[in-house]
Chain A
């Protein structure tokens, strides 16, 4: 708890975050570089899907990140709501747009994959629909967050929306187990171990690490600019009043 309150100070947060940004950026580029090389040139074609299987290396990490970002959004927004934590509120707001992009990427690449493999761009099965709901939740969060003149009220209202929407995350994850869907069940995160060959699993995991560091990288840059923009606003107001 003391830990949470300590980093509520934006200046203290920036002192730690700023030097980390170039390192995180370096790790991102390294992971995505090696990951893409392995995914596109080294990893084998699939026994059923042939070369089309390579979409997995952009699609699956994007879908994971869509759910991961939403989870961190809910945690940040919750901490912001309960502890009145300004840095957490900023983290939630800045996570939303990144998460929305990941969700859109997962839907788009899934659609491009669905056409050659399933024979359709889109079906209303439980997995695809719950993923579309996730995109709407992100958009709703962003809209509600900026709908108020008073930023505090916007943060509060959108935090509540985010928490209510969290019910969608287990629905997405288990939709393929609870109901029969066109989408196949999980291949990596499952009880009896991955059902994907190691020559494909390693590039996939590397891409997932790369995506995670990309999120962290963009998040810290965006939080830095959001905090700085806030400071400039305060200075201007003070200047105008003086």
Chain B
């Protein structure tokens, strides 16, 4: 075997081993790489109370209520379960009902006390006219149909 063929074989085998090691590591760390938990995770008691976590899902339609002291309460849903969230602070521009959000905070007596609310937008980009036309024609799926929310 010529030297360059030896090197080629070495690189090839090393690449296979690294890919295998990487896959194993990622599988092992899977739980920790998750950025946020879904309302179902919380409802199924996978999350202990008082622990700082991120909760992600859609803002439930018609659930946003503003109290006189500025506290906003809303439901975060993944269509299967809904968790009530309470938040005092500035909401991002994209925050609205039906929109994806990720909130960070703690669960207290079944209510999620958020310290930070981030808006999550979807991967669809289009001019406003097109989204109007889609809605009119009844083709609009909106965020409800997103698979990311039903995990």
Contact = CB atoms under 8 A, between A and B. Distances in A.
Interface residues of A, number: 42
Interface stretch (B42-50, B59-67, B123-131): B123-131
A195 B130 CA distance: 12
A117 B35 CA distance: 18
A78 B7 CA distance: 10
Contacts of A116: 92-93
B118 interface: yes
Interface residues of B, number: 43
A62 B122 CA distance: 20
A117 B128 contact: no
Contact of A184 (B117, B121, B151): B121
Contact of B127 (A120, A185, A199): A199
A164 interface: yes
Interface string A178-212: 11111011110010000111011000000000000
Contact of A125 (B4, B35, B122): B35
A164 B14 CA distance: 9
Contacts of A19: none
B123 A180 contact: no
Given A78-B11, A81-B11, A117-B121, A180 B92 contact: no
A164 B15 CA distance: 7
A200 B33 contact: no
Given A78-B11, A163-B15, A45 B123 contact: no
A185 B149 CA distance: 12
B119 interface: yes
Complex A-B, nearest 4 residue pairs according to Cβ-Cβ distance, in ascending order:
A119-B92, A44-B127, A47-B131, A197-B126
Interface of B: 4, 7-8, 11, 14-15, 18-19, 22, 26, 30, 33-36, 38, 56, 90-95, 102, 116-132, 148, 151
17 contacts: A46-B126, A47-B128, A47-B130, A49-B121, A118-B119, A119-B91, A119-B93, A119-B118, A126-B33, A163-B18, A167-B22, A179-B33, A180-B56, A182-B36, A182-B102, A182-B120, A200-B127
Interface of A: 44-49, 53, 56, 78, 81-84, 116-120, 123-126, 163-164, 166-167, 171, 178-182, 184-187, 190, 195-197, 199-200
